[in-house]
């Protein structure tokens, strides 16, 4: 019998069981023998590869159990995973087509969204059209493009142009703030998914934040260079390491993402959570400093570490890394924030909040709290009813919709059920946006991964939501960096007024949205 899966933020304690016959253990993950897991660390693997690197079509068919730990609400017990950046997968989501969802209201779960592409199994990844350059969310401005965030913070001000083209503005009396939508991807180590979201950005003005797991810049032959806090050299909660070719592809993807105006942040290194103690939940400031020191060491010296002078140059400045999300959303502000401040960070994405509200800044450490919202799922969820609140991350949606309450395992469902799950998540995103637009315009901060869970239900839901809404006059789909910079130039009284607005806990006319 296997242990149980849990959603991020769960307070349920699951019993740690010994593996049975024919089972391999990967730091809390159990899979049938003969299958290689390739996690980025936030729980179940997104890609599953046999030792011969032959792709397995459906990750949902793999039985995975993750041991549990007790964490406060809003801090994750689990996470997800990607494989090597150059790996292939036989289950890659196709680029969504424009949805019939107008952005005014989301379709109910029972009503198919015309034009929405259901999860698709393909043998190759989608690529962005070469004839269309990524669009910009910029307002018209004669200001020159900036090299931010390597530029001094004093350069920030009205008219400042972000790398993705968004132009900072200072709110005037009576003016509504922009409606930001920020998407981040933990791990960011799967080439085909980089291509997929580049395809989205070629259709609509969309830029994002990639939270890089630093070990993706190292190959497995040199794993012992990494020494996670209180663990043996080379130990990690990742299930596999990149090959030299995958490291090269990862660097190319990072370089292109940065050149396109996207942001690179950190997801730290070994992804140690409480299921592989001592995990991030118990780390001290010294531990966080150690992991960050190693992250930037590998960032700058990966060629020497990998003993591979032929690797391409990483053209993303280390000084541009200003944001973080901890493994499994674990850790405490008191221990984490001093380390972030010491490394020049400006924000953190790890600590969730009930409802959608304007982020606040730590007065002691100067770190913005950019955590995800806990928000009600659209419609009815079997076993939970209506109004079930979840952390707005793809894994939590999957757990809510498809975890078997009797076994604790994710159910393998037919494509039609995955498509219905996808529509429900897209409708939840739309509820969030519509509620924010009707309220204080607080930013949507969405957490995701490069994954193919539930027949690509969550990749498709996000892609269709972005295509339906990015580019609307009042909506700006930008990296987390842009929101932090925009808030930094507002008058303190104006920002305090926005922060004091009640959190949005539902769509318009739900009784949970306040102007």
Q: How high is the pLDDT of residue 512?
A: 62
**Distances 61 to 1, 28, 50, 400, 420 between C-alpha atoms, Å:** 17, 18, 14, 18, 19
- CA–CA dist 317, 224 (Å, integer): 25
Which segment of 114-123, 333-342, 450-459, 485-494 scores lowest on mean pLDDT?
Answer: 114-123
**Distances 187 to 28, 132, 451 between C-alpha atoms, Å:** 18, 27, 10
- CA–CA dist 467, 424 (Å, integer): 16
Query: Residue 474 above 80 pLDDT?
Result: yes
Average pLDDT rounded to a whole number, residues 498-505: 96
Q: How high is the pLDDT of residue 155?
A: 82
Q: How high is the pLDDT of residue 239?
A: 82
Structure-token pair, residue 154: 């004093």
- Whose tokens are 């498709």? That residue is 460
113 close to 464: Cβ distance less than 8 angstroms: yes
The string of pLDDT tens digits covering residues 334-381 is: 999 999 999 999 999 999 999 999 999 999 999 999 999 999 999 999
Average pLDDT rounded to a whole number, residues 240-265: 97
Q: How high is the pLDDT of residue 21?
A: 30
* Residue whose C-alpha is closest to residue 459's, from 43, 124, 96: 96
Q: How high is the pLDDT of residue 407?
A: 87
Per-residue pLDDT band for 56 (boundaries 50, 70, 90) equals: very low
The string of pLDDT tens digits covering residues 84-119 is: 333 333 333 434 433 333 222 222 222 222 233 222
389 close to 409: Cβ distance less than 8 angstroms: no
- CA–CA dist 446, 80 (Å, integer): 15
* Residue whose C-alpha is closest to residue 302's, from 377, 223, 200, 358: 223
65 close to 5: Cβ distance less than 8 angstroms: yes
Q: How high is the pLDDT of residue 510?
A: 78
Q: What percent of the chain has pLDDT over 70?
A: 69
- Per DSSP, the three-state class of 445 is strand
Structure-token pair, residue 421: 């799950």
* Residue whose C-alpha is closest to residue 263's, from 214, 216, 318, 208: 208
Higher pLDDT, 296 or 43: 296
Per-residue pLDDT band for 174 (boundaries 50, 70, 90) equals: confident
**Distances 496 to 360, 414, 449 between C-alpha atoms, Å:** 9, 48, 32
Average pLDDT rounded to a whole number, residues 21-41: 27
Per-residue pLDDT band for 421 (boundaries 50, 70, 90) equals: very high
Per-residue pLDDT band for 513 (boundaries 50, 70, 90) equals: low
- CA–CA dist 269, 371 (Å, integer): 20
Per-residue pLDDT band for 171 (boundaries 50, 70, 90) equals: very high
* Residue whose C-alpha is closest to residue 93's, from 381, 448, 431: 448
Q: Work out the angle at residue 194's Cα, subtended by the Cα atoms of residues 324 and 437, and round it to the nearest 5 degrees.
A: 65
Higher pLDDT, 511 or 343: 343
Higher pLDDT, 512 or 314: 314
Query: Residue 433 above 70 pLDDT?
Result: yes
pTM over 0.95: no
Q: How high is the pLDDT of residue 154?
A: 54
**Distances 504 to 169, 206, 373, 390, 494 between C-alpha atoms, Å:** 24, 23, 9, 14, 19
Q: Output DSSP code: residue 85.
A: T
Q: Output DSSP code: residue 248.
A: H
Look over the chain and give the mean of its residue pLDDT values, rounded to a whole number: 76
Average pLDDT rounded to a whole number, residues 109-132: 28
Query: Residue 456 above 60 pLDDT?
Result: yes
Structure-token pair, residue 103: 């952005």
- CA–CA dist 490, 351 (Å, integer): 23
275 close to 282: Cβ distance less than 8 angstroms: no
Q: What percent of the chain has pLDDT over 90?
A: 66
Query: Residue 48 above 80 pLDDT?
Result: no
Query: Residue 326 above 70 pLDDT?
Result: yes
Average pLDDT rounded to a whole number, residues 473-497: 97
């Amino acid at each position: 019998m296997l242990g149980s899966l849990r959603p991020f933020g769960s307070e349920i304690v699951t019993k740690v069981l010994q593996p049975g016959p024919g089972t391999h253990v990967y730091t809390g993950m159990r899979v049938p023998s003969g299958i290689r897991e390739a996690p980025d660390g936030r729980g179940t693997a997104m890609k599953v590869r046999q030792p011969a690197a032959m792709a397995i079509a459906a990750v949902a068919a793999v039985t995975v159990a993750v041991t549990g730990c007790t964490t406060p609400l809003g801090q994750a017990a689990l996470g997800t995973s990607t494989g090597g950046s150059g790996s292939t997968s036989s289950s890659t989501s196709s680029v969504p087509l424009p949805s019939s969802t107008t952005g005014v209201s989301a379709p109910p779960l029972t009503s198919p969204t015309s034009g929405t592409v259901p999860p698709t199994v393909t043998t190759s990844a989608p690529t962005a059209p070469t004839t269309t350059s990524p669009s910009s969310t910029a307002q018209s401005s004669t200001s020159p493009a900036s090299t931010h965030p390597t530029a001094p913070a004093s350069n920030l001000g009205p008219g400042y142009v972000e790398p993705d083209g968004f132009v900072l503005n200072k709110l005037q009396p009576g003016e509504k703030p922009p409606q930001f939508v920020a998407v981040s991807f933990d791990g960011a180590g799967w080439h085909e998914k980089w291509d997929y979201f580049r395809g989205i950005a070629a259709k609509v003005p969309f830029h994002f934040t990639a939270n890089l797991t630093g070990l993706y810049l190292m190959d497995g032959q040199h794993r012992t260079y990494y020494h996670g806090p209180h663990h043996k050299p080379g130990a990690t909660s990742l299930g596999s390491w990149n090959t030299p070719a995958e490291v090269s592809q990862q660097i190319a993807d990072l370089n292109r993402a940065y050149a396109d105006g996207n942001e690179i942040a950190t997801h730290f290194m070994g992804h140690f959570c409480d299921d592989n103690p001592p995990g991030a939940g118990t780390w001290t400031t010294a531990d966080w400093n150690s992991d960050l020191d190693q992250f930037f060491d590998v960032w700058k010296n990966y060629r020497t570490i990998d003993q591979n002078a032929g690797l391409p140059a990483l053209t993303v400045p280390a000084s541009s890394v200003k944001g973080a999300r901890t493994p499994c959303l674990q850790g405490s502000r008191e221990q984490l924030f001093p380390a972030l401040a010491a490394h020049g960070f400006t924000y953190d994405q790890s600590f969730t909040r009930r409802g959608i509200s304007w982020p606040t800044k730590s007065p002691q450490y100067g770190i913005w709290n950019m955590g995800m919202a806990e928000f009600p799922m659209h419609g009815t969820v079997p076993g939970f009813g209506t109004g079930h609140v979840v952390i707005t991350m793809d894994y939590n949606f999957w757990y809510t919709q498809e975890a078997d309450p009797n076994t604790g395992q994710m159910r393998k469902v037919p494509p039609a059920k995955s498509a219905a799950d996808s529509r429900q998540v897209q409708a939840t995103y739309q509820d969030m946006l519509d509620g924010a637009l009707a309220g204080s315009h607080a930013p949507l901060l969405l957490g995701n991964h490069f994954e193919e869970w539930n027949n690509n239900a969550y990749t498709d839901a996000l892609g269709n939501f972005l295509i339906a809404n990015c580019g609307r006059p009042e909506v700006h789909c930008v990296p987390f960096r842009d929101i932090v910079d925009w808030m930094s130039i507002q008058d303190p009284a104006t920002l305090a007024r926005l922060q004091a607005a009640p959190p949005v806990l539902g769509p318009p006319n739900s009784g949970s949205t306040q102007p």
